[in-house]
A and B are shown apart, each in its own frame.
Chain A
């Protein structure tokens, strides 16, 4: 039985654990406010809030219900547009009306829910946070400006009423329905033990499902599933002796908002914003990103650029390997049947060490990279390269650790000439193909630019890029 609260109603269901939440809610609960648009997690029209009792407080996160497995709802509170529209219009809804933030209306429930998520979630309810909260919501009609004007009104109202993310105050101001106050007690009453894992070695290890439900949605409906998404023992993070170790079930969003991870990789906010959207970050686990083995996976490239290591478990057996040795060929990994990814660890980039991540995609946000790259670099006083890790995605069958390029630079002084040589080596080391994300020539050029961009951040005069015009 999967047991959870849907808006104000307790649900116990024997529906297959692989059912997509959106299908369940629309077809079996007849709640049609969430819209089915893409079934890819790409548009946010199916956004709902998922509440979880964690560390003595309720945490609500927006997720795209179209690619969320029902099993991941177990023990949680799901809040849909219907659950937010029980009484009078909320100030968020009113603001959307006042600024004509809705035209055909098909995207609108998703936007309203995402904005409400910003209220429940962020440390500060400022414009920036609201805009970030809708970074996974697509609208084809409005051009977004009217929606931004609505956000402006909401932020003004919150400021005027001096509201932050205090639940009771938000309820009193009609931003949230009153029944939310009782949810923690009700959730605790639900036996929230982790749903029984299907321990068959062939059962599909399921993280957030953001890849599985995009690649094979129909199959997932009836599949044997071994869920890891909310496994407490896979959601820990710590720093010890300059090494950050964290569980594979942590999501990109968990890390984004983790003070520990912020310490491990300072100033990484910009980087998380380049990864998918708020909703997807709230679902996508790091384990899923790594085991996906997508040659363009952002977190994979990021961790390769940190020269991370991973822990693989099979029942009681555990082994650690370097991430760069994990990928063997296109979507082939050093991973045995029944083995799964438990933990990840990396050495904190040292001072004056530097870490850089960069990505080029057709659309800057919520888009898979055409090419991405990460680099850790430690220079001696005299600019000798003491340590270097460099990774690149989208330029070969696997997420690539650029061994040869690194070797060509290590122990040498960083100069324009050295970089020129290294860029040559780089080109010999990669093998991009032409596909929907760009021609092979383009990818070669784009990676060259990203690598130069890393070094320009180290020293803005190291390389005169304009010399490449016409080259």
Chain B
């Protein structure tokens, strides 16, 4: 597009004008090279067993099929496990879940490859299938070592408690449903190297996996990511297998190979948010302050570890959500089942942990006969408390957000309105809930908290920026442009954001953990500052300034001691270039202060925490057991937002996604490990009508945090957990209709569970 965008537009989202005209190119939109082969996976039709016969001669001879690859064709190591090496790329004899890839069919067209699939003959000696995490635990099927975080002494504390409650909680899985399915396109290069275009959040993970499969070093594999059509964690680790498959095929055949998963393949083969089953025990003193909290989490990891150990860790980190709890003992087990390996999903285990303590508090409040939110409020996290993992609560905003939400949205009036409505209506009942969130920012695996950036200033004054960040809709491209424009004091129009590419920026951490803008932005600042330092030195030499003179860059001009000199940006760049200055720089950033000692399960793993409180109102049609969300009004701690448009979009999108997880999105596997909700006709995510009529987002006024990029706090994951409020709003509406309802604390609250609860 040749039309110039205004600075305001760029600030909104630099990609938007391309999106709305359909010009943005995603992986499947790249022009196809002549000679491209199209791949399809033949996958396990049974959830557990041993292959006793596999014959694909007929398939290999069918129309258009070029070749069929099995694990035997892998020159390197048949292994894709990132944290634990427990997952083959292509199954050898053991099958562990329906959808596990066995063969890669290469044909002239997708349809031909698809048809060949049905000609593969396979026989399987079936074994016992486990889909329930508790059953797996009881049978000793664990993916990795269990872990426990403790603070104080819960046993002793429970002795002194005035009230103790215990119970069970379950939460379901969640399909990412990024609109763009997984996929990759590989091109063989000279001297045996490969270029892979991948729809991934983790280009380096893809590169490492491809190299491992091909048996080559990482420098032989170049991974390029233009942008992706949504990720939500689903493409953090699980974009790698498809990339490795096409890389393998390109390596073996010498032809370009493309594989874009169909929606059904994607639903069948990829992992999702981990379902959890949990048990808790919670104790309060006379003042209804939580004295002790114990929980055991059974994480349904699926058939291989994938990112489960890290996800499980975050469940433990966030087990007490936004509450002060002096005595904690929480244990998590990573259970091995015959489902596709579950993986990262926005919130990364945090939501599952939070849902348990919220359920515990809700149940306790009901038994104690006081409103749920009063019990929550009494226990909100305060400054100076210790988290179970040893970090001391600093710059706590839990109470501030809560109080501001109550005040700004006039909670007591709101409650009265709901009561009046409920008194007036027999079969329509409203429910209200409050949901506080406290979420830690940083990868909990400390070494991942680093990033790099590459900046070129071209001799015409334009700037090229490369970072390790992948744009997936979260607006990181826009934020990176803002960071560079801010650093150089130039118009954002001068800045181009390059594709994320492992040859330009190596050893990247995935775009995940909400930390992408912080890490990459700070690395980018470092690169910009190096160039600015060189400019400064050059200007001082050229204008014979004194050492203490201050050189600044803003409004596309050079300022000396805050006075403008007539050196517009373009002149400056050109002069520096002619003076043979280095106009490129590589930046690096590693988050300071954070550490965590896994042997003690103590440390300071998070750069900072993000806080907020959401109030949710729902109206339930008690006749039909259906509902509609009237409003979610929330106060969120953005720090000092660098891009309110982008950040607001993250809040609204995250919230609705979280609400979907708690209500609509019902991921169903039967006892044979078959996915029963494997289509969009059966797996429902929020549509515009489902979204609450009103989403009101207020900013908590703060100065922001130094470890946040431009003091603008990370915003990707935390809002998802506001969605937990949807569950309790529904529950409270049920209680308004049927005060004796039997509540089970099993999410999602489907229309089935809702109707059953209403009449229980």
Please, which residues of chain B bring their CB within 8 A of the CB of A442? 752, 755-756
Given the known inter-chain contacts A40-B681, A138-B685, A218-B114, please indicate yes or no for A96 contacting B22, CB distance below 8 A.
Answer: no
Task: Please tell me if the beta carbons of A103 and B475 are within 8 angstroms of each other in the complex.
Answer: yes
Closest CB-CB distance, B622 to chain A, in whole Å? 8
Q: How far is the CA of A100 from the CA of B756 in the complex (A)?
A: 40
**Stretch of B351-359, B434-442, B527-535, B689-697 with 4 or more beta carbons under 8 angstroms from chain A:** B689-697
- Interface mask (B660-692 → A, CB under 8 Å = 1, otherwise 0): 000010101000000011011110111111110
Q: List 17 A-B contacts (CB under 8 A).
A: A38-B263, A39-B263, A85-B23, A97-B9, A98-B9, A108-B22, A138-B687, A140-B179, A140-B685, A141-B649, A143-B656, A362-B666, A364-B690, A365-B687, A436-B682, A446-B625, A468-B759
Taking CB atoms, residues of chain B closer than 8 Å to A145 are: 652, 691, 695
Closest 8 CB pairs of A and B: A33-B22, A104-B473, A105-B19, A106-B229, A103-B473, A81-B22, A143-B656, A143-B652
Decide yes or no whether B168 CB sits under 8 A from chain A: no
B66 on interface, CB distance cutoff 8 Å: no
- Encoded as 1 (CB less than 8 Å from any B CB) or 0, chain A from 72 to 110 comes to 000000001110010011001100111010111111110
Kindly specify which of B10-18, B139-147, B484-492 makes contact with the partner chain: B10-18
With contacts A436-B668, A469-B740 known, what are 12 further pairs, Cβ within 8 A? A32-B22, A97-B13, A98-B9, A104-B229, A104-B230, A137-B688, A140-B177, A143-B656, A144-B688, A436-B676, A437-B682, A469-B738
Interface flags for B17-34 (1: CB within 8 Å of A; 0: not) read 111111111101101000
Check B426–A466 contact: CB distance below 8 A. Answer: yes
Within A448-469, the residues touching B (CB, 8 Å) are 449-450, 452-453, 456, 465-466, 468-469
Give complex CA distance A133, B224 in Å. Answer: 37
Shortest Cβ distance from A281 into chain B, in angstroms?
A: 15
Whether B22 contacts A143 by the Cβ 8 Å rule is: no
Report A-chain residues with C-beta under 8 Å of the C-beta of B599.
none
- Given A103-B475, A104-B229, A106-B229, do A43 and B690 touch, yes or no (CB 8 Å)? no
| B:218-266 near A, CB below 8 Å | 227-230, 232, 262-263
* Bound-state Cα–Cα, A35 to B180, Å: 8
Docked complex: A136-163 residues within 8 A CB-CB of B: 137-148
A298 on the B face (CB < 8 A): no
Is A117 part of the contact surface with B, judged by Cβ < 8 Å?
Answer: no
**Is B472 among interface residues, defined by CB-CB distance under 8 A?**
yes
Task: Select the residue from A39, A96, A104 with max chain B CB neighbours within 10 A.
Answer: A104
Q: Give a binary string over B681-725; 1 marks a CB under 8 Å from any A CB, 0 the rest.
A: 110111111110001000000000000000000000000000000
Evaluate whether A102 and B23 lie within 8 angstroms (CB atoms) in the complex, with A147-B688, A362-B684, A436-B682 already known.
no
Please indicate the chain A residues that have their CB under 8 angstroms from the CB of B17 in the complex: 89, 93, 97
Asked whether any CB of chain B lies closer than 8 Å to the CB of A196, the reply is no
In the assembled complex, which residues on chain A have CB atoms less than 8 Å from the CB atom of B690?
363-365
Q: Which of B16, B23, B29, B751 contacts A100 (CB 8 A)?
A: B16
Question: Which residues of B lie under 8 Å from residue A38 when comparing CB positions?
Answer: 263, 679-680
- A112 in contact (CB, < 8 A): yes
Residues of A within 8 A of B29 (CB): 32
CA distance A92 to B655 in the complex (A): 26
With a cutoff of 8 Å between Cβ atoms, the chain A residues found around residue B119 in the complex are none
Which residues of A have CB within 8 Å of B13?
97, 100, 102-103
Q: Is the CB of B688 within 8 A of A134?
A: yes
Size of the B side of the interface (Cβ < 8 Å), in residues, is: 86
Q: Are B645 and A100 in contact (CB under 8 A)?
A: yes
- Minimum CB distance partner of B658 in chain A: A143
Q: Please, which residues of chain B bring their CB within 8 A of the CB of A468?
A: 759
Which residues of A does B touch, CB under 8 Å?
Answer: 30, 32-40, 42-43, 45, 80-82, 85, 88-89, 92-93, 96-98, 100, 102-109, 112, 131, 134-135, 137-148, 214, 218, 221, 358, 360-368, 370, 435-439, 441-442, 445-446, 449-450, 452-453, 456, 465-466, 468-471
In the bound complex, how far is the Cα of B19 from the Cα of A92, in angstroms? 12
Give the shortest distance, in Å, between A438 (CB) and chain B (any CB).
5
Closest to B426 in A: A466
The answer to whether B229 touches A35, judged by C-beta atoms less than 8 angstroms apart, is yes
- Inter-chain CA distance A93–B19, complex, in Å, is 9
B67 to chain A, nearest CB (A): 21
A68 to chain B, nearest CB (A): 17
Name the B residues within 8 Å of A93 (CB-CB): 17, 20-21
How far, in Å, is B301 (CB) from chain A's closest CB?
24
Nearest chain-A residue to B262 (Cβ)? A39
Asked if B190 is at the interface (CB within 8 A of a chain A CB), the reply is no
Main secondary structure of the interface of A (DSSP, over half): loop
Residues of chain B within 8 A of A131, CB atoms compared: 688-689
Residue of A with least CB distance to B628: A364
B181 within 8 A of A: yes
* Selected contact of A140 from candidates B230, B625, B681, CB within 8 Å: B230
Chain A residues whose CB sits within 8 angstroms of the CB of B625 once the complex forms:
360, 446, 449
Closest residue of chain B to A92, judged by CB? B20
Interface of B is mostly: loop
Contacts of A92 in B (CB 8 A): 20
Determine the distance from Cα of A145 to Cα of B690 in the docked complex, in whole angstroms: 11
In the complex, what distance in Å separates the CA atom of A38 from the CA atom of B229?
Answer: 13
Contact B263 A438, beta carbon cutoff 8 Å: no
B373 within 8 A of A: no
Contact status of A108 and B180, CB under 8 A, knowing A97-B9, A103-B649, A363-B687 = no
**Which residues on B sit within 8 Å (CB–CB) of A441?**
756
| Chain B residues, Cβ within 8 Å of A104 | 178-180, 227-230, 472-473
How near does chain B come to A103, taking the closest CB pair, in angstroms?
Answer: 3
Given the complex of chains A and B, what is the CA–CA distance between A108 and B179 in angstroms?
A: 11
Confirm or deny: B58 has a beta carbon within 8 angstroms of a beta carbon on chain A.
no
**A35: B residues at CB distance < 8 A:** 26, 179-180, 229
Question: A37-B180, A143-B655, A145-B695 known; A366 and B682 CB under 8 Å?
Answer: no
Taking a contact as CB atoms under 8 Å apart, the answer to whether A106 and B230 are in contact is yes
Inter-chain contacts of A465 with B (CB < 8 A): 426-427, 622-623
B544 within 8 A of A: no
CA distance A135 to B15 in the complex (A): 25
Cβ-defined partner of A470 (8 Å) among B474, B646, B691, B760:
B760
Which residues of chain B are within 8 angstroms of A112 by Cβ–Cβ distance?
20, 22
Asked whether, in the complex, the Cβ of B649 is within 8 Å of the Cβ of A445, the reply is no
Supposing A32-B25, A40-B681, A106-B180 touch, asked if A89 and B759 sit within 8 A by C-beta, the answer is: no
Among residues of B, the one whose C-beta sits closest to the C-beta of A82 is: B22
Cα distance, A43 to B645, chains bound together (Å): 25
CB distance from B642 to the nearest CB of A (A): 14
**Residues in chain A near residue B475, CB distance under 8 A:** 103
**Are B751 and A42 neighbours in the complex by a CB distance under 8 Å?**
no
* Docked-complex contact B652 and A362, CB < 8 angstroms: no
Q: Is the CB of B653 within 8 A of A103?
A: yes
CB–CB B22/A85 < 8 A = yes
**A470 with B740: in contact, given A33-B21, A42-B681, A362-B751 (CB under 8 Å)?**
yes
Distance between B484 CB and nearest chain A CB, rounded to angstroms: 20
Chain A proximity of B287: nearest CB distance (Å): 35
Q: Tell whether B585 is near chain A: CB-to-CB under 8 Å.
A: no
Give the docked Cα–Cα distance between A141 and B13 (Å).
14
Whether A360 lies near B687 (C-beta < 8 A) is no
Q: Is B550 an interface residue (CB 8 A)?
A: no
Residue ID in chain B nearest A442 by CB atoms: B752
Contacts of B26 in A (CB 8 A): 35, 106
Q: A151's closest neighbor in chain B, by CB? A: B688
Contact A358–B681 (Cβ < 8 Å): no
| Cα of A450 to Cα of B625 in the assembled complex, Å | 10
Contacts of A147 in B (CB 8 A): 688
Given contacts A104-B228, A470-B760, contact A450 B751 (CB under 8 A): no
Q: Does A471 lie within 8 Å of B759, measured CB to CB?
A: yes
Q: Which of A96, A105, A140, A471 has the most CB of B within 10 A?
A: A105
By a CB distance below 8 angstroms, the chain A residues around B229 are 35, 104-106
Report B653 CB to chain A, min CB distance, Å: 4
User: Is the Cβ of A106 less than 8 Å from the Cβ of B179?
Assistant: yes
**A100-B13, A140-B230, A363-B684 known; A470-B677 Cβ under 8 A:** no
